[in-house]
């Protein structure tokens, strides 16, 4: 699955899954631009993977996304792969959820993905090829208590990706999703142990997944071995949800 010299943008690169994505793409020889909102964590990432480029960027700033893609392409010398991994959650019961928190999650998780894809595809059309992988979530398929905004944003990303795949398949651009279940990250580390045990009991594999479980799947979809896969969602959840 060599991705040597392929130019890749990875958003949300400083989180648990993001770190694994950077590691796996670096192992495959890709030329990487890793983005995130936390400069200190980006610098730490650069120390661990000296060959990558880093850029602090806030996806909430929708009006700057097109210019960001433009500058990213100049830094990388092109664009072959986009991995939309960044996202946030602001959880609460629906009747307590503010409209502001509803909009913020949708704006970052869904609208930013739309705008990133839109700008990236313009570059990929010129290249006559490209791969986009959008990271969604198991709760976009199952729903989840206290996560109506997050679940809606991830379900929307799946439907958006399918429509996008239909529009650009003939341009040799593949758009797919990877839908993680519950993965060992800083976020899941904060789950109370009692609730975590309840979660694990629902997972046939008997444990939470790892960032590598997700990134291995993403690397496959980004490679030439996945050229005939388009508009799909691959679930990485230990059997918790079987589509």
Active site residues: 150
Please calculate the CA angle 191-194-197 and round it to the nearest 5 degrees.
90
Backbone φ, ψ for residue 230 (5° rounding): -150, 135
Beta strands (DSSP E) in 16-57 are 31-36, 53-56
How far is 83 from 56, CA to CA, in rounded Å?
A: 16
- The H or E element that residue 82 is part of is strand 81-84
Question: CB count, 10 Å around CB of 189?
Answer: 10
Can you tell me the distance from the alpha carbon of 136 to that of 153, in angstroms, rounded to the nearest whole number? 9
Residue 156 CA to residue 87 CA, distance in Å, equals 13
């Amino acid at each position: 699955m060599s991705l040597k010299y392929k130019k890749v943008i990875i958003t949300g690169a400083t989180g648990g899954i993001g770190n694994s994505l950077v590691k796996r793409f670096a192992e495959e020889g890709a030329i990487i631009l890793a983005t995130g909102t936390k400069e200190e964590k980006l610098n730490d990432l650069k120390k661990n993977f000296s060959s990558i480029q880093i850029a602090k960027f806030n996806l909430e700033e929708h009006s700057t996304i097109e210019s960001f893609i433009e500058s990213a392409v100049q830094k990388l010398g092109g664009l072959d792969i986009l991995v939309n991994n960044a996202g946030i959650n602001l959880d609460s019961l629906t009747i307590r959820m503010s409209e502001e928190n509803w909009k913020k999650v949708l704006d970052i998780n869904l609208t930013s993905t739309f705008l990133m894809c839109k700008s990236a595809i313009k570059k990929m059309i010129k290249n006559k090829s490209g791969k986009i992988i959008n990271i969604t979530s198991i709760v976009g398929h199952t729903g989840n208590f206290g996560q109506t905004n997050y679940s809606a944003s991830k379900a929307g990303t799946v439907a958006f990706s399918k429509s996008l795949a239909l529009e650009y398949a003939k341009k040799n651009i593949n758009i797919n999703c990877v839908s993680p279940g519950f993965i060992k990250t800083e976020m899941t580390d904060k789950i109370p142990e009692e609730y975590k045990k309840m979660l694990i009991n629902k997972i046939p594999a008997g444990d939470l997944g790892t960032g590598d479980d997700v990134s291995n799947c993403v690397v496959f979809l980004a490679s030439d071995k996945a050229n005939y896969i388009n508009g799909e969602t691959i679930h990485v959840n230990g059997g918790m949800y079987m589509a």
